[in-house]
């Protein structure tokens, strides 16, 4: 809903590009490759844009940024770039801790924000481990 409405709460251009970069890794379509003859380049243009957006941001403290970093870590792992993958996973969990997501308590009634915060923290933690 946030994507369709253009709201940054649960979606951002960074997150969309990270998702497209990862999804492109599973495509056999030449259109998703900067070099149509090289399947190893699938999604590179999306990933490059995600990196550009990340490095150009003023502040990184948002759920969408943390999620994007996790997706970028998975994408880099799928490309056999373990060092880069660990970097993005580490940045993701570090941002969670800086935002205090590791201190959240599980309540009987949770709003959308609390559910997403908890899922984001535990996803980043698991990925980093």
Q: How far is CA 2 from the centre of its chain?
A: 16
Q: Which of 75, 87, 79, 86 is nearest to 15 (CA)?
A: 75
Beta-carbon contacts of 63 under 8 Å, excluding residues fewer than 6 positions away, are 9, 10, 116, 117, 120
Task: Give the pLDDT band (50/70/90) at residue 29.
Answer: very high
The residue among 2 and 14 whose pLDDT is bigger is: 14
Q: Is the pTM of this model over 0.75?
A: yes
Q: What is the pLDDT of residues 59-90, one digit of tens each?
A: 889 999 999 999 999 999 999 999 999 999 99
- For residues 38 and 30, is the Cβ–Cβ distance under 8 A? no
Predicted pLDDT at 106:
67
Percent of the chain exceeding pLDDT 70 equals 96
Predicted pLDDT at 81:
96
Task: Give the pLDDT band (50/70/90) at residue 122.
Answer: very high
Task: Give the pLDDT band (50/70/90) at residue 112.
Answer: confident
Q: What is the DSSP string of 29-87?
A: -GGG-SSTT-GGGTTHHHHHHHHHHHHH-S---SHHHHHHHHHHHHHHHHTT-HHHHHH
Predicted pLDDT at 16:
96
Predicted pLDDT at 84:
97
- For residues 123 and 88, is the Cβ–Cβ distance under 8 A? no
Predicted pLDDT at 56:
94
């Amino acid at each position: 809903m946030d994507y369709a409405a253009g709201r940054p709460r649960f979606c951002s251009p960074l997150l969309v590009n990270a998702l497209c970069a990862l999804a492109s890794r599973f495509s056999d379509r030449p259109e998703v490759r900067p070099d149509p003859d090289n399947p190893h380049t699938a999604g590179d243009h999306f990933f490059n844009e995600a990196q550009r957006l990340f490095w150009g941001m003023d502040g990184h403290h948002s759920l969408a940024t943390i999620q994007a970093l996790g997706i970028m870590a998975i994408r880099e792992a799928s490309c056999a770039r373990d060092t880069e993958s660990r970097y993005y996973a580490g940045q993701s969990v570090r941002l969670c801790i800086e935002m205090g997501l590791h201190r959240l308590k599980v309540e009987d009634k949770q709003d959308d924000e609390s559910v997403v915060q908890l899922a984001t923290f535990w996803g980043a933690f698991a990925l980093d481990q």
